[in-house]
């Protein structure tokens, strides 16, 4: 039936995907699907179900660190990077618009992959607004994994911390709730990193340096840990560490999200075939954006050599 997978597991995997597609279609036909929910997915079984297939949904290259962590952990998995350059950035958009774009991106990945084993949302904005609707559309058959800023582990020592995030996230009730829940007894300084995500997305070195310098100036000197509350910031972690004088440990969610994704997928034998990295640009097959290759995770995903000093960012 295929390399590395027993016949029974192969059967169960194909059956689950087919049942999921039929269930979605039937729900739409019977009119019980909530207004605005995901349109019916194609009723098709997976031809190559021995391969783990994972969809990652984000507006741009902020997904790279999580995708690279998945690639490092499961080099045999096929990754479908569903970006949305036609409608980026998602940050300024309304919650309804973000939900629509996230659902559209997940559906595009599903269609191009002929079904996926998990949907990953490596984006704080999309996780805040779209996670519930994505889970409504895909679970329980297909797990959906979101991204939460690593405030809890950063605050574990009891020392002062800072949370670097976008201006919108810094103002959000979502971030305030996380701080109240996981860092109530810790001094927390929210830092709005104005322009940093946009600078990283465009791989503009001067803009990146300026934005990081500004955020570092807003970070108190007694801070022992900095939470990277936007996945774009993972890509410039070395510059952030240097700007802080190496006085604070950085906490991101990429590896934790990758580990949770593989746990949710379950035990799947490793395939002998190397996995592929497929890119979608607002639903269209594409290549990795040029800006992605400016960062170690992007070069790693493209199969390019990565400097040993930079492997910690994968």
Catalytic residues: 123, 230
Distance CA 304, CA 297 (A): 10
If you search the block for the tokens 């996780």, which residue do you land on? Answer: 127
- Nearest C-alpha neighbor of 232 from the set 58, 97, 54, 108: 58
Residue 270 DSSP label: P
If you search the block for the tokens 């036909």, which residue do you land on? Answer: 29
Distance CA 137, CA 160 (A): 39
Q: E strands, 86-132, where?
A: 118-120
Distance CA 87, CA 97 (A): 10
Work out whether strand 284-286 and strand 277-281 pair parallel, antiparallel, or are unpaired. antiparallel
Task: State the CB neighbour count (10 A cutoff) for residue 66.
Answer: 31
Alpha helix (H) residue ranges in 139-202: 151-155, 167-171, 173-182, 196-202
Distance CA 120, CA 55 (A): 6
Distance CA 58, CA 202 (A): 15
């Amino acid at each position: 039936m295929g390399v590395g997978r027993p016949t029974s597991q192969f059967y169960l995997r194909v059956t689950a995907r087919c049942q999921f597609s039929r269930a979605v279609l039937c729900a739409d036909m019977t009119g019980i699907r909530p207004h605005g929910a995901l349109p019916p997915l194609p009723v098709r079984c997976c031809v190559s179900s021995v391969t783990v297939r994972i969809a990652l949904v984000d507006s741009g290259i902020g997904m790279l660190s999580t995708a690279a962590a998945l690639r490092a952990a499961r080099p045999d998995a096929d990754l479908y990077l569903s970006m949305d350059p036609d409608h980026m950035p998602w940050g300024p958009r309304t919650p309804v618009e973000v939900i629509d774009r996230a659902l559209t991106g997940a559906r595009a990945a599903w269609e191009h992959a002929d079904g996926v084993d998990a949907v990953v949302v490596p984006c704080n904005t999309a996780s805040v607004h779209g996670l519930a609707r994505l889970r409504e559309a895909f679970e329980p058959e297909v797990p959906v994994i979101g991204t939460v800023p690593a405030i809890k582990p950063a605050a574990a020592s009891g020392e002062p911390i800072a949370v670097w995030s976008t201006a919108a996230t810094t103002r959000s009730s979502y971030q305030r709730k996380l701080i109240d829940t996981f860092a109530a007894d810790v001094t927390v300084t929210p830092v709005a990193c104005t322009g940093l995500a946009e600078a990283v997305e465009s791989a503009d070195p001067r803009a990146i340096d300026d934005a990081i310098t500004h955020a570092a100036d807003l970070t108190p000197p007694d801070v022992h840990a900095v939470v990277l509350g936007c996945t774009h910031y993972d890509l410039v972690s070395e510059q952030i560490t240097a700007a802080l004088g190496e006085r604070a440990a950085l906490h991101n969610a990429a590896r934790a999200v990758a580990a949770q994704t593989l746990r949710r997928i379950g035990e799947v034998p490793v395939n002998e075939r190397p996995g592929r990295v497929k890119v979608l640009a607002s639903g269209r097959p594409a290549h990795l954006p040029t800006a992605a290759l400016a960062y170690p995770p992007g070069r790693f995903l493209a199969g390019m050599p990565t400097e040993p000093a930079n492997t910690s960012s994968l």
